[in-house]
Structure 1
Amino acid sequence: MTAFAPAWLALREEADAAARAGELLGPLRARLPAGEPLVIWDLGCGTGALGRWLAPRLPGPQHWVLYDGDPALLEEARANAYRTADGTPATLETREGDLAGLRAADLVGASLVTASALLDVLTAGQVDGIAAAVSCPALLTLTVAGRVRIVPHDPLDAEIGAAFDAHQRRDGLLGPDAAAAAATAFRRRGATVQTRPSPWRLGPERAGLTAEWLRGWVGAAVEQRPDLAEPAAEYLRRRLADCDAGRLTAEVHHIDLLALPGGTT
């Protein structure tokens, strides 16, 4: 699975929080067990940003299992102080592990499985493995959708975007196909699946994130298509100049998915 730097995760946390589809929380809450502590697994937890957003929106008491393959990120996540909807502190534990090894037996007793910005960096087999292992509600957020809209328009937007999407699909990764693959995998196992858009909206108020996203977006496109290196360098110069001048906005589309066991749609 792709590793992420803590600095990048911190930079994007506010935009992630603003993007997440809060309308999925109503049907989720309705299916959580009442009158007993919630046990919530956060797969690929990173530094714990999803828990900081979600814990206050769910009832307590809560126990979070923070699961990641990066011990440095787990160390940072361990320092979190989650508060539930009634203000009581949640308890936390960290587990280092590879998602490829996750089994249904590991998740016995889980009330909810959740993840953020995870599905698109997995293979079809890994996504299917998660769907097979999960028998409780699953809230899987911020999966890339392969759609980016930048204002003002530039003639190279579409070509850079297509090269980036191809990079996302390298080595069998799902990239922009991940949300659809996950929906199919959960439905095949009898779950009801709802999806909602969760776009990043970037602009002058998030100039640092916008600039860093542009560098990463263009860099991945060039890695996929080295022939784009020269025009992409000039493209990035123009885009960063627009960003610095406060005249660039970008909508980077993601998809949030809620899978509830029992019933099909």
Structure 2
Amino acid sequence: MTAFAPDWLYLREPADAAARATELVDTLRESLADGDLVIRDLGCGTGSLGRWLAGRLPGTQRWILHDHDAELLTRARTSLPATALDGSPVDVVAEERDVTELRAADLAGTSLVVASALLDLLTRDEVTALATAIAEAGCAALLTLSVTGVVELSPADPLDPALVAAFNAHQRRLTGGRRLLGPTAVDVAATAFGRLGATVVRGASAWRLGPDQAELQAQWLEGWVGAAVEQLPELRPVADVYLQRRLEMARAGELHAVIHHDDLLVLPPSLEVAA
């Protein structure tokens, strides 16, 4: 699994929070059974999803944070809110482990599985195994901020389409013997859950980065162009000039970027989607 720098995760947190499909949380809140909640956050990073979600759900909550990075787990464990939406207590524990190895037995007693920006880092087999584990355990899932491969930059540039294509190919690359799903992850996951009898609700969760987010724009641009060039090295001469041009626009407050993601809410047959 990919490692992410804490500074990047903290920088993107406000954009993530603004993008998340809140209507899915409304449906989730209405669908969850009354009583204590056990919530597992897969690939929790610094805990940004827990910080955003815990206070939007009622009832006593026990969060179990999973990540392969011990430093991130330490940061996340102490950062979630102490109380839920209705003032009930929120308890947090951390488990360092590979989330791709979770199976139904590991999820026994879990009410809800959540993740942010995870699905596109997995393979088809890993997503299918995760869907099977969640479905067999009978828990709900909220899987957020998976890239869809669509990027809109304004003003447009003739090189935009080539960089989008190269970046999307990089997202689907073969690495360490694993073929990542990248922009196809949401479709693959939705299909896998649907075949297992779950109800799947999809919501758009695009980043919308304006001039007031120049620092995030700059870091995103550097990573985006860098990945595109890694995938297609022959782009480097023009991509270097492109990146400098785009960074200057970001610094000048002239750039707008929409980076599209999708969120998935998954409800097992035992839970009904509210009308």
- TM-score category (smaller protein): over 0.9
After superposition, the C-alpha distances for 1:77-110 in whole angstroms (9 at most, x for unaligned) are 1121323102344100001111221111111011
1:121-140 equivalent positions in 2, closer than 5 A: 121-134=121-134, 135-140=138-143
Deviations 1:2-60 (A, max 9, x none): 111101000000000000000011221122111x1100000000010000000010002
1:50 is aligned to 2:53: no
Quote the offset at 1:75 in angstroms: 1.0
1:200 equivalent in structure 2 = 207
Question: Hey, what does 1:169 align to over in structure 2?
Answer: 172
Which residue number in structure 2 is paired with residue 96 of structure 1? 96
Residue pair 1:123, 1:173 contacting (<8 A) in 2 also: yes
Alignment-derived partner of residue 224 in structure 2: 217
Residues 31-50 of structure 1: matches in 2 within 5 Å?
Answer: 31-34=31-34, 36-50=35-49
Deviation at 1:204, TM superposition (A): 1.1
Cα distance in structure 1, aligned partners of 2:133 and 2:23: 25
The number of equivalent residue pairs is 264
Q: Which runs of 4+ in 1 moved over 6 A?
A: none
Aligned 8 A contact 2:65 2:93 in 1: yes
Contact residue 69 and residue 96 of structure 2 kept, 8 A: yes
Contact 1:50 1:115 in 2 (8 A): yes
Q: Does 1:106 align with 2:109?
A: no
Q: Which sits farther off after the overlay, 83-92 or 12-21? A: 83-92
**Partners in 2 of 1:207 and 1:238 — Cα distance?**
14
Matched with 1:148 is 151
CA RMSD across the alignment: 1.3
Alignment partners' CA distance in 2, 1:115 and 1:79: 18
The secondary structure found in structure 2 opposite 1:39 is strand
In the TM superposition, residue 247 of structure 1 has moved relative to its aligned partner by 0.6
1:218 partner amino acid = V
Gaps of 5+ in 1: none
Unaligned runs of 5+ in 2: none
- What is the TM-score when the length of structure 1 is the normalising length? 0.97
Aligned AA for 1:170?
Answer: R
Residue 248 of structure 1 and its aligned partner are, at CA, apart by: 0.3
Match of 2:250 among 229, 243, 249: 243
> Percent same amino acid among aligned pairs?
58
1:63 aligns with 62
